[in-house]
Amino acid sequence: MASGHSGTSLQLNLLGIGEILRNNRLVVPQFQRSYCWKVDQEVQDYWTDLSRAIQTGAEEEYFLGTIVLTQDGPDDRKKIIDGQQRLVTSSLLIAAIRETLDELGHTQAHRIEADFLASQAWDAEDTEPHLKLNEDDHPPYHGIVTRTGLPLAPPKRAESDIFKAYRYFCKQLSELAGRHGESATNELKKWVKYIQHRAQLAVVETPSEADAYVIFETLNNRGADLTTADLLKNHLFGAAKLHLDSVRNNWHRSIGALSLSAADDKYTKFLRHYWSSKVGKVTERDLYARMRKEVVQSQDALGFSQDLLTGARIYAALSDPNHEIWQEKCPGRRPALSTLVLLNLVPNKILLLAAVEHLPANQIEKLLKALISWSVRGMVMGTINRGRYEDTYSQIAMGIRKGKITNISEIRTRVNDLIVSDTEFKAQFAFHTVGRTEANKIARYFLGALERTHQNEAEPEFIPNDNPTEVNLEHVYPQSAKANDWSDFIAVNDNQEDADKWIYRLGNMVLLQASVNSYIGNKPFKDKATVLAASQFALTKEVGDCPDWTPEAIQSRQERMANLAVRTWPR
């Protein structure tokens, strides 16, 4: 079969998966993800489908899909570009059949191992698996298929997916042998023959690795079972040509910079945020298509991979105030950064990906501080995740990369219509509810910053104490209120369901030393008041001085807090 790519000759064959394992020496490239099929998902489905196919008729073919190999692997092995999961799973099944036949006393069990799993080359001293996996997966796999006494898994992966799949097949085959009694050996040999000849794969072989990635991308252009990162990687590698080694190195260094894997959804999120900072807001759905248009030639792939590595280092630093990049990009004080890490908002990351790379240090410091106020105002108004922020911040990031925006004043001009006025912010803050999932960290931050403003401290918007072992969040009207202890509060609201709506109002929350927080728990207000009145936090002490705790007291307190909020997070 001839491809349409520069006259490159490709081979396409329909082969039994056992024949592939028997007649080839294969290797999984070190950079590929590890074996990841789960016993209760893909492995079980594989077993069920194969069992059904064999029971239906041993002469019928069972098609397992397409795999892509390249002929330029190390030590005369063919590289597996696509198909690792199916090949490994099938070889583990064959190993389990070998083991079951051995337990039944079948004298030819060792032939199965030599034919399909591992054998000794004429110029080698040791038995080598026909299939060689990456450095994480190979120790357990080697121990299983060769039975050499090597550990089935290194300590850090004592329960590897490979071992779990093998153990599952052994259990299923033992039960199958038990059902067939004296005919068990014949049944198991029938399974081996079926896997060898009838369980088939379409095998695409290419002369070079770059050609293999082009084919892989074509076969998977709908993205089935692949992340956007998987598709982009294979497009990049296919386009790289002579720059393949450099592109591949940059790609995997960028993954390493983020301490992720390409299979991790967080890596795809990084790619979307990075690309939005370059070309404007892009959705995850459109990300691959947009990037693919930009990366066509080998030089494009090289340049993109270099930019991606830079972006990954900055993106990692946005979640780590102690990251080494800050000494390089912004050597001054960065207390604002810890607060932005806590808030963890996507628009900020998109803007900072460009700003940290291109703006001078003094402008980065000013931007970090400004982003806190803009973020809190957007969070309280409920607008920061509705699209306008991300659209605007993406456009600003583009302007920074093109050199059209060079300082914080120009950025402020472009966000002017986005950031609400003091009047709007104060009115909304007076009724703000902090959601249950974010109540602890966000409410603690809000209350701590307001406390610092109340005490006239400098830079109140920066995190004063984010250690929950020292300072805890207390709900005055508790999350699990007992009707007898809070009967008056509940009566004012007609019923407990309506009363519980006040739990997550910011005015109902206080900071308290951790040592006393667990003590007051769900106690009635008269018992809590004494403890609150003795607090070192002024805003907490005020609550303890209240004669009673009512919805009116919560609302009045939150309105006072709203006045502080305008000063804490200035427009």
What's the burial of 414, exposed, middle or buried (CB within 10 Å: 0-12/13-18/19+)?
middle
Q: How many helices (H) and strands (E) does the chain have?
A: 27, 10
3-state secondary structure of 88: helix
pLDDT band at 238 (very low <50, low <70, confident <90, very high): confident
Q: DSSP assignment, residue 513?
A: E
Is residue 238 packed enough to be buried (19+ CB in 10 Å), middle (13-18) or exposed (0-12)? buried
Question: For the chain, what are the domain ranges?
Answer: 11-215, 249-421, 427-568
Question: Taking the chain, what is the end-to-end CA distance rounded to the nearest angstrom?
Answer: 66
Mean pLDDT of the chain: 84
Separation between Cα atoms, residue 472 and residue 465, nearest integer Å: 10
Q: What is the pLDDT of residues 49-63, one digit of tens each?
A: 899 888 876 567 788
20-34, 86-100, 324-338, 534-548: least confident range? 324-338
Residue 310 has pLDDT above 90, yes or no: yes
Q: What is the pLDDT of residue 377?
A: 93
Residues 6+ apart with CB under 8 A from 542: 557
Residue with tokens 């005490």: 455
- Under the banding of pLDDT at 50, 70 and 90, the label for residue 4 is very low
Cβ atoms within 10 A of the Cβ of 286, count?
Answer: 13
In terms of Cα–Cα distance, which of 63, 17, 32, 91 is closest to 213?
Answer: 32
Q: What is the pLDDT of residue 97?
A: 94
In whole angstroms, give the CA distance from residue 100 to residue 113.
12
Q: Helix, strand, coil proportions of the chain in percent (round to 5)? A: 60, 10, 30
DSSP code, position 43: I
**In the block, which residue shows the tokens 């397992």?**
64
Q: pLDDT tens-digit profile of 453-488? A: 888 877 766 665 455 556 778 888 887 777 777 777
DSSP state of 113: I
Q: Is residue 64 a contact partner of residue 21, using CB atoms and an 8 Å limit?
A: no
Per-residue burial over 141-152, b = 16 or more CB atoms within 10 Å of its CB, e = otherwise: bbbbbbbeeeeb
Who contacts 173 (Cβ-Cβ below 8 Å, separation ≥6)?
96, 97, 99, 100, 188
Q: Residue 35: is its pLDDT beyond 50?
A: yes
Instruction: Yes or no: say if 237 and 248 are a contact pair by the CB < 8 Å rule.
Output: yes
CB 87 within 8 A of CB 21: yes
The length of the chain in residues reads 571
The per-residue pLDDT for 5 is 39
In the predicted model, is pLDDT for residue 98 greater than 90?
A: yes
Higher-pLDDT residue of 386, 511: 511
